[in-house]
Structure 1
Amino acid sequence: MEKAELNALDSYFTIEDNQVCLNKGVITDSDGMLYDNGECTDVQLPSKLMDNFGGILCLPDGVFFLGDRDYGSRLLIRNCYLQLLDLTKKDSKEGGPARSGYAITGTPGIGKTYFGLFILFYIRCIYHKATVIWNDQNICYGFSPEGNVQKGDVNQFEEALENPENFYIADALMMKKYPAYKILLTSPKVERFNEAVKWPGFTKYFMPVWEREEIITLWTLQYKNKKNNEGEELTFELLGALLTKWGPIPRSVLLKWDDKSYQQDYDS
């Protein structure tokens, strides 16, 4: 792109190494409309950027999602992430099917947890007066509007969960009903979300599987030239072989590429 094509965005981004870097607090919806600290700017990203979208949420070097090195510092923003958020925002309005919350489910290994991490970032940008409670199998975190973070048992955050203006994100857990807006990230196992979808105003959405091009983009960004302790490399040829075997499932072709026990599960 020519620099002149981006002049209207000058207040919202910088260019570094030929990358368009949105400023802190600036986020886009699936149409490319920019929001600055929750307020619509009426400025859109050019369609050629959105049509070939390769957005990445980058944390500072040495900073990891939820403080966990295994989650890394970068997250590929799939188009379906933005589309799902637009859909849930529309459905969460008064009288809508998701007015009290929703579950996100789909094929195991496609990155529902990472979508949850993006939701966490999205809420902080759009609803910056809300407290967000994140609960997974390891621990519970409370993110306050002032920027403070507490961790502990979910019972410590009962007061925040009683406020319908706040958000409760549960990852791979049986969810308890609270007045806070509820988001459940779950496998397709019916027992995980069956009770929740009976609640008034609570529905479920299915995350689509990855496109092959999305997998290749993620490999290029985070796994290219990656080697294991034995010096084996996740080459493009090996990635192709894993895609042929498993299909476009990030856990199977990227995260577990060198886990021999996991890969042998395919044969059995």
Structure 2
Amino acid sequence: EDGEKPGGNFSTTMKVYDSLGNAHNVEVAFVRIEDKDDNRQFDVYITKVDDCPVQETGETPDPPVDPPGKNIGTLEFDTSGQLTKDDDSGKKIVTITIKDGTEDPPNPSVSLTTETGGGNDGTFQGAKALTFVLDFTNLKSYAAQSDAAALSVNGCPSGKLDEFTISSTGEIEAVFSNGQTKILGRVGLANFKNPAGLLREGSNMYRETANSGIPMFGSPATGGFANLQPGSLEMSNVDLAREFTDMITTQRGFQANSRVISVSDEMLQELVNMKR
């Protein structure tokens, strides 16, 4: 059955991510119960996390859910399909906790806790203390086949560092294989009252002296500090690839012109010989 009549139920699956970036599938079931003041009502159950059934200790849902699970609340919709309120068994925003697990538990199970308390103990393979929120506030009821889906998830799978970039303002941004980006830090700059007083120690390395004054540190593009030019070599504005290309083009042009001059010279020589 679907969720259009009392006793009917439907379910949906959504992904959550633990502290290691591993994805887990959480199965949520919605069971239609008797209307209240013409308002449609659904009991909500967490029935499974991955392949681990979630059991409600000492209770059997009525109507039953197959498989039975943890009842996390009741959703009520008014005659216009808007979510109105819940009873005392749950909230519109439900927090669920999966307790600490072991590396390889023989019989993995989960522990769920709602805002009103309750739950069962156990372990979950590969997961540390994982808490996630099911937000039902945007759920609506329509005169159509019942369905529900997670529109957004604020977690992400694990990823490794693919590359990093440095902006003109000095921000060092890391790009990971899972598509996430993160600012790792910022390149700092130093100003001196007398830059000419710095002591050169080779290449582009300088050291402060009494003549240069003490350094004043800051961030690029702020407070009179210059912008950075990422990817550029200091004291050089030469694009080697372009310069080599231009050099080869010039060489080919010179060779072609030399041949034209040689042919013209031979033609003139033949003309002189004919005159003789």
TM-score (norm 2): 0.20
More helix by share: 1
Instruction: Identify the structure with bigger relative contact order (alpha carbons < 8 Å, sequence gap 6+).
Output: 1
Larger Rg: 2
More strand by share: 2
